[in-house]
Amino acid sequence: MPAKVPSLAVGDRFFELGSRTLIMGIINVTPDSFSDGGRCSTPEHALRQARMLEAQGADMLDIGGESTRPFSDPVPADEELRRVIPALELIRSQCGLPISVDTSKAVVAREAVAAGADMINDVTAMRGDREMSRVVAETGVPVVLMHMRGTPRDMQVEPFYTDVVGEIRAFFQERIEAAREAGIEASRIVLDPGIGFGKTLEHNLEIMRRCGEFRRDGYPVLVGPSRKAFTAALSGRQEPLERDAATVGAIVACVARGCDIVRTHNVAMARDALSVADPLLRDT
C-alpha cells in the first residue's frame, strides 16, 4: 500500500484513513440517472434509500440532483435545488451519516450546506462555477475535486491522453493550488480521478492500476467505478443493475492499488467484499 494519508473529518465523523476503506453510498434524486434514475424521485424515496444504505454499512452518503452520465445536458440551478434540498433536509433529520452533495453549482452547494450537507462533491473540481471555491472556503466543508475531460455532454467524444495518470496528477496539482489559494485547508481536500468521465476503457484500467499514485501528495483518493460502462465492457453485463459484481471487482482492485474511499450504489456487496479485502490488503 502507498504511504498513509491524513485523517478526514466529515461532519461530526473523524475517519482514520488507511485502516479500512470508506464507503460512500449513492442517492440519485434525478429522473434520468444512467443507473437508477427515478428510484429516489421523492424525498420519502430518498430517505428510504438512505436508511437502507446506512443499514448496509455506508460510512457516508452522496446525494445528487443532476445526472452526469455521458451526453447528458445540465439542469438549471432552481431545478437542482428543488430535487436536492427537500431530500437532504428529510435525510438529515432522520439519518446520522455524513452527507455529501454532488453538485458543480455554488448556489446549490451553499444551500445544501445550510440544509445540513457535510461535504461537496464537485465533478468539475470547482472549475464549473467560479464561486464554488468561495462557498467551500466560507462554509468550511471538505470538497471532492474530480477530474473530467470536457463536460458530460462531450466528455466521451474521442478522449485522448499521452499519459492519463500523469496528466490527471498535473490537473490535481493545479486544482489543489487553486483551492489552497481560495482558503481551503489541505485537510479538507479529497481527489477523485474520475473513472468514466472522459476516459476510454484503457484509460479507466490504467487509472485503477495506478490509483495509488494520486496519494503521493498526501490527499485521500476516492474512486467511483459503480455500474460504469467499462464494467459492462469487461463483464458483458449490459444492464446497469446487473453490474454490481463487476463493480465489486473494480473496487477491490482499486483498494489493492491504494484508494481510500469508494463510491457505490450497492453498499451491501461492497461492505461484504471489503470486510475480507481490507484485512488482507491494508497494514492494520
CA distances 181 to 126, 134, 175, Å, are 13, 10, 10
Q: Quote the domain boundaries for residue 55.
A: 8-277
What is the reported pLDDT for 5? Answer: 67
Catalytically active residues are 228, 263
What is the reported pLDDT for 157? Answer: 81
> What is d(CA 153, CA 51) in angstroms, rounded to the nearest whole number?
32
What is the reported pLDDT for 2? Answer: 47
185 falls within a domain: yes
Average of per-residue pLDDT values in the chain: 92
262 falls within a domain: yes
Closest residue by Cα to residue 105 from 113, 93, 116, 94: 113
pTM score > 0.85 for this model? yes
Average pLDDT over residues 27-31: 90
| Residue in the structure block whose three cell numbers are 473540481 | 125
DSSP 3: P
241 falls within a domain: yes
| 261 pLDDT higher than 90 | yes
DSSP 123: T
> What is d(CA 231, CA 223) in angstroms, rounded to the nearest whole number?
14
At 284, is the pLDDT very low, low, confident or very high (cuts 50, 70, 90)?
Answer: low
| 4 pLDDT higher than 70 | no
- Note whether 85 and 107 are within 8 A (CB): no
Average pLDDT over residues 231-246: 95
143 falls within a domain: yes
> What is d(CA 158, CA 246) in angstroms, rounded to the nearest whole number?
25
44-85: pLDDT as tens digits: 999 999 999 999 999 999 999 998 877 778 899 999 999 999
Average pLDDT over residues 244-269: 97
Q: Which residues contact 178 (CB under 8 A, 6 or more apart)?
A: 126, 133
- Note whether 21 and 272 are within 8 A (CB): no
Rounded to a whole number, what is the largest CA-CA distance in the chain? 47
Mark 229-244 as b/e (b = at least 16 C-beta within 10 Å).
bbbbeeeebeebeebb
Pairing type for strands 13-15 and 8-10 reads antiparallel
| 249 pLDDT higher than 60 | yes
Q: Looking at residue 121, which CATH number applies to its domain? A: 3.20.20.20
168-221: pLDDT as tens digits: 999 999 999 999 999 999 999 999 999 999 999 999 999 999 999 999 889 999
Residue 8 backbone dihedrals phi, psi, to 5 degrees:
-135, 125
Average pLDDT over residues 249-264: 97
What is the reported pLDDT for 208? Answer: 97
What is the reported pLDDT for 171? Answer: 97
CA distances 199 to 64, 152, 194, 229, 232, Å, are 21, 11, 8, 11, 15
221 falls within a domain: yes
Pairing type for strands 143-146 and 119-122 reads parallel
| 110 pLDDT higher than 90 | yes
What is the reported pLDDT for 154? Answer: 72
What is the reported pLDDT for 40? Answer: 67
With vertex at residue 90, the alpha carbon angle to CA 86 and CA 91, rounded to the nearest 5 degrees, is 115
Q: Percent of the chain scored above 70 by pLDDT?
A: 94
167 falls within a domain: yes
Total tally of structural domains belonging to the chain: 1
Closest residue by Cα to residue 282 from 263, 254, 240, 248: 254
| 38 pLDDT higher than 60 | no
- H-helix segments, 75-143: 77-94, 106-114, 132-139
2 falls within a domain: no
Residues β-bridged to residue 191? 145, 221
| 1 pLDDT higher than 50 | no
218-231: pLDDT as tens digits: 999 999 999 999 99
> What is d(CA 128, CA 118) in angstroms, rounded to the nearest whole number?
20
284 falls within a domain: no
127-183: pLDDT as tens digits: 999 999 999 999 999 999 999 987 777 778 888 999 999 999 999 999 999 999 999
